[in-house]
Chains A and B, each alone.
Chain A
Amino acid sequence: MTVKDVVGQVEHLFGRQPEQYMYRLINDGLLDISGKAQYYSEIAKTDLVSYQRWYDLDDDSVLDIFRVEILDTNDRYTVIPKLADPHKLLKGDTDESEGSKQ
């Protein structure tokens, strides 16, 4: 189904509506559905960089991460565990030191 089909169905009941207004309502609906029913997942790759702890996420598309993998030496991605309580485990991490990049 295209946006035109949605607009057509709605206009059948409510008459002609401004195009930009319809886009805004459809986008609000998409955002609401993605928050309520998290069935849409995507995959993103980024470089593993030495001395870099934090990697920025795309705020426009990421809702929550559920799996992270590292490329092993056989060129296969291997799942790595999530730390349940990083603040307890990472006392005195190197983020603020001279030797590490933020």
Chain B
Amino acid sequence: MATIKRNFPNDYFAWFNDDNRVAIVSKVLSSDIDASNTTNDVYDTYIGSDVTSGIRMHYHAKYTPVSSLTHNLTTNSGLNSGLHPALIDYVKSRLLEDAGDLQRASYFKGKYEKSVKQWPHRKSGVRNLAVPRL
């Protein structure tokens, strides 16, 4: 009986990617090997039934560009409200740069870089409690 690879996908499937594509491959089992469709390799292209929404990818994304004054940076673009001041500093630095005021531009650029580098301000993890010794 043929093995259904989707019963335990993590045992059979794997992925890798190049710059603009992601590849999904599955382990080649002895039952898969025939002359016409596959090779005797560890992994090969998936052969089986098509599955609607069968692949789910999690990725770091670019923020959605703005195109109107009413565009909300948090809800429409995905930019966390903690990074809004950094964005304002970036815009100020660019405006000053374009105006030729490089000294003030580098001040705002520095502020922007520092804000982005320090984000997120609160990191999850172990927190110390100051418990008095009684």
Contacts and interface: CB of A to CB of B under 8 A. Distances in A.
Interface in A60-94: 60-73, 77-83, 86, 89-94
Contacts of B91: 6, 10, 22, 25-26, 29
Contacts of B37: 51, 94, 99
A80 to B, nearest CB: 4
A38 B120 CA distance: 11
Contacts of A44: 56-57, 59
A52 B50 CA distance: 10
A59 B7 CA distance: 32
B47 A25 contact: no
Size band of the interface chain B makes with A: 35 or more
B87 A33 contact: yes
A53 B73 contact: no
Contacts of A78: 8-10
A36 B116 contact: yes
A1 B73 contact: yes
B113 to A, nearest CB: 8
Contacts of B124: none
Contacts of A49: 46, 50
Given A14-B92, A33-B87, A72-B7, A48 B54 contact: yes
Given A39-B80, A54-B23, A62-B61, A71 B43 contact: no
B60 A41 contact: yes
Interface of B: 4, 6-10, 13-17, 20-25, 36-39, 41-74, 77-81, 83-84, 86-88, 90-92, 94-95, 116-117, 119-120
Interface of A: 1-4, 6-7, 9-10, 13-14, 17, 19, 22-23, 25-34, 36-57, 59-73, 77-83, 86, 89-95, 99-100
